[in-house]
Amino acid sequence: MRLFGTNGIRGKIREDFKPDFLAKIGLAIGTYLSPGSWVIIGSDTRVSGNMVKSAVISGLLATGVNVIDIGIAPTPAIQLYTKNHGDFGIAITASHNPPEFNGVKCIAPDGTELPRNEEEKIEEIFFSSRFRLVSWKDVGRYTIAHGANEEYIEAVLSHVNVEKIRERKFTVVIDCANGASCFTSPYLLEKLGCRVISLNCQPDGTFPGHESEPKPQNLGDLMALVKDVRADLGVAHDGDADRAIFVDENGRFIHGDKTLTLVAREIAKKNGGKFVTPVSTSMAFEEVVKKYGGEVIYTRVGAPIVARRMIEEHAIFGGEENGGLIFPEHQYCRDGAMALAKILEIMAESGKKLSTLINELPSYYQGKISVKCDNSKKAAVLEKLKEKLKNERINTMDGVKIMHEDWWVLIRPSGTEPIYRIYAEAKSEEKLHEIMEKYRKMLEKIIKDIS
């Protein structure tokens, strides 16, 4: 049995996440750790945050580990604080999921997301219920720490050319999606000398501004406002701010793969080296990296997988097509604020507008859709897909990727939701729609046929 998905443990409040279940998670994590360990814990802005956090803390303290509560903070800020001050970390977040969801994400001592083999050890303890319950006098200590967000902002600033950015006096519209970045990104922008126009920057766990997933249909206000105020760019974060999605000065939505490719190009120009990204990433990424002497290494989808491979390969940059960029000189995790600062640095050093920089990149058309599929069916569906597509040129590293000269389609089960995701890319928009429709129908039929 599995407890962890692609990005931690997630579930709906009351249905999946109940106090006894959450306390048991805390007990399992605490038993996995050595007595006296210091666990850093923080949360995003969800209404259920304190309930979930308190229940998990209860279990942790009962096993004799200590807890440092840093309050509301972006997930990368929790990861950085764990690396600097803790033996382990926990982020209470469901990232981009709707407000009725929450999650428990485990963080290794080096600030990376916990690798799968360590998650399995926690799962074994959880399902066996073999917990280490200490005596009353050995219960763990609970303390509250302030300043984690400020420490995080200063760390980001240390990795970009602050003076060059300040010279440009950019106007930036920031959409925090009522999430954890309310406490960091607007202040980061101020320190970078930007004129800051905020949107949905009051913390509110019901997400009244829009859903916390930074996709085009949720960012209409941001796109319109950037254009109206003639800003240099707009940026939107997801709920826990480990991702950043951009809008250019014309109000045009910039897909995450474009940002990933742009940053990769600028880093490859200076350094060459190794770059790591999942099989879902645009062909443009490899095209620009190879042009400047770099090497691309592909992985399965998932930020922890990308980060671990980056460590192994001593890669100089990596990330995903969803706006999750990983800068190893800062830390081995997706970081929305670091991505924001780096884009501003690229604009400042080049003297170019974001639209110009994006238009310089190789042009491909991308699509991404979801198809509902019960978790219980996912494995059988994947086997049927592999069988049906066995005569195609396919890659089965993560789901099934069908590859052709000028297009590809990736069909893979989500690790966080009861859906299959279909990613596709083609040289023409017409071809993109054709292949997405073809494989959507194929997937829906296979799911329907499996009783």
What is the distance between the alpha carbons of residues 74 and 118, in angstroms, rounded to a whole number? Answer: 23
Q: 53 CB contacts (<8 Å, ≥6 apart)?
A: 41, 43, 69, 92
Residue positions counted in the chain: 451
What is the distance between the alpha carbons of residues 359 and 276, in angstroms, rounded to a whole number? Answer: 23
- Strand pairing report for 274-278 and 295-299: parallel
**Sequence letter at residue 422:** I
What is the distance between the alpha carbons of residues 253 and 245, in angstroms, rounded to a whole number? Answer: 8
Residue by residue, DSSP assigns 174-199 as: EE-TTSGGGGTHHHHHHHTT-EEEEE
Point out the catalytic residue in the list 37, 43, 48, 95: 95
**200 token code pair:** 């949905």
HSE-CB for 192 with a 13 A CA cutoff = 34
What is the distance between the alpha carbons of residues 92 and 393, in angstroms, rounded to a whole number? Answer: 41
Q: Categorise residue 9: left if φ over 0, alpha if ψ from -120 to 50, beta otherwise.
A: beta
Residue by residue, DSSP assigns 17-44 as: B-HHHHHHHHHHHHHHSPTT-EEEEEE-
- The answer to whether 370 is a known catalytic residue is no
DSSP state of 170: -
Task: List strand residue ranges (DSSP E) for 222-290, in order.
Answer: 233-237, 244-247, 253-254, 274-278
Catalytic (active-site) positions: 95
